[in-house]
Amino acid sequence: MSSTFNTTRSISLLAFITLTTACAGNNSASNVVAPGGDKTPATRSLDAGAALLQSRPPVEALNAYLDGFHFYNGHPDVQMEAHHYCSILNEDVIQCVIYDGNRKDAKLMGVEYIISEPLFARLPEPEKALWHSHVHEVKSGQLIAPGIPQVAEHALMQKLVHTYGKTWHTWHTDLNKDLPLGVPQLMMGFTADGQVDQNMVAERDRRFGIDSAKKKQARADIVAPPVAQGADAWKHGDIIQITDPTATSHHP
């Protein structure tokens, strides 16, 4: 099967990202404070012992950091920033855990699976409706890889523009839920100018010291592929969402 990613370049790019993302982040606080007592000395000792003695290969593989924006499928006006920590499984599959911030107390909001266009094309038609394209997120400058040089970020975006994501949020801290209440919700990405809350983008840009508009200009040379049929189904009225039996509200 042909691949979106070039093996040698993607491996070297990931290695470079791993070495240069240590300085990124720690500038975005979590949206909520989880209820509960402070850690006891015994719990802190367990933490320290686990950190010293246990290995965490799956966690240590999360060495790429992306920041972007999502909205609830069916409710494009309910939007939030999403901090992605990702590992590249192979040339066609990336998996990310999503947090509501980039500090130690950030809450785990959900997951996103990212696949190449050839893999997306093989999905059953009903499955495709769960996935969103990344073309606009890349071309608009909304999606960023904080902490790496412009040339590395540009190369990464050239790969991501050809990918598709399926995202589920499990803890809705954007709605001030201080616990992971209710059922997972399917999220989508923006597909055109004028959809995202520009104040939210501007506030993100301020924290990271970047300018999304300038990133958009710098990515003008990235060729935008046509969005594969079946993705971004919400644009055509095919909106899939899980009805919450707990009656938890996932939108204002």
Residue pLDDT, tens place only, 55-84: 778 888 888 999 999 999 999 999 999 999
**Rounded to two decimals, what is the model's pTM?**
0.87
Please report the pLDDT score of residue 29 as a whole number: 86
Q: Is residue 241 in some structural domain? A: no
pLDDT at 13: 52
Region of 228 please: left (phi>0), alpha (psi -120 to 50) or beta.
beta
Whole-angstrom Cα distance, residue 114 to residue 250? 24
Query: What was the pLDDT predicted at 111?
Result: 98
Q: 223 or 33, which is more confident? A: 223
Q: Provide the pLDDT for residue 8.
A: 38
Residues 147-169 pLDDT 10s: 999 999 999 999 999 999 999 99
Q: What CA–CA distance (Å, rounded) separates 251 from 80?
A: 12
**Is the residue at 42 inside a domain?**
no
The answer to whether residue 44 is domain-embedded is no
Q: What residue numbers bound the domain in which 67 lies? A: 7-27+57-236
| 23 part of a folded domain | yes
Total structural domains within the chain: 1
Could you tell me if 245 and 76 are in contact, meaning their C-beta atoms sit under 8 angstroms apart? no
In a domain, 122, yes or no: yes
**Residue 3 predicted with pLDDT over 50:** no
pLDDT value of residue 159 = 96
The full 3-state SS of the chain, as one line of letters, equals CCCCCCHHHHHHHHHHHHHHCCCCCCCCCCCCCCCCCCCCHHHHHHHHHHHHHCCCHHHHCCCEEEEEEEEECCEEEEEEEEEEEEEECCCCEEEEEEECCCCCCCCEEEEEEEEEHHHHHCCCHHHHCCCEECHHHHHCCCCECCCCCHHHHHHHHHHHCCEEEEEEECCCHHHCCCCCCCCCEEEECCCCCCCCCHHHHHHHHHHHCCCHHHHHHHCCCCCCCCCCCCCCHHHHCCCCCCCCCCCCCCCC
What tokens were used for 220?
């003008």
The whole-number pLDDT of residue 22 equals 47
pLDDT of 72: 97
> What number is the average pLDDT over the span 216-239?
97
Query: Which residue carries 């540009």 as its tokens?
Result: 154
Q: Judge whether residue 242 has pLDDT over 50.
A: yes
Asked whether residue 39 is domain-assigned, the answer is no
d(CA 163, CA 224): 11
The overall average pLDDT reported for the chain is: 89
179-227 pLDDT per residue, tens? 999 999 999 999 999 999 999 999 999 999 999 999 999 999 999 999 9
- Looking at the predicted structure, is the pLDDT value of residue 87 above 60? yes
User: What integer pLDDT is reported at residue 107 of this predicted model?
Assistant: 97
Burial (Cβ within 10 Å: 0-12, 13-18, ≥19) of residue 76: middle
* Long-range Cβ pairs for the range 83-87 (8 Å, 24+): 83/25, 83/28, 84/112, 86/62, 86/114, 87/58, 87/61, 87/62, 87/63
Mean pLDDT on 127-143 = 98
pLDDT at 39: 76
Q: Is residue 116 part of a domain?
A: yes
Q: Is residue 38 part of a domain?
A: no
**What's the CA gap between 242 and 130, in Å, rounded?**
12
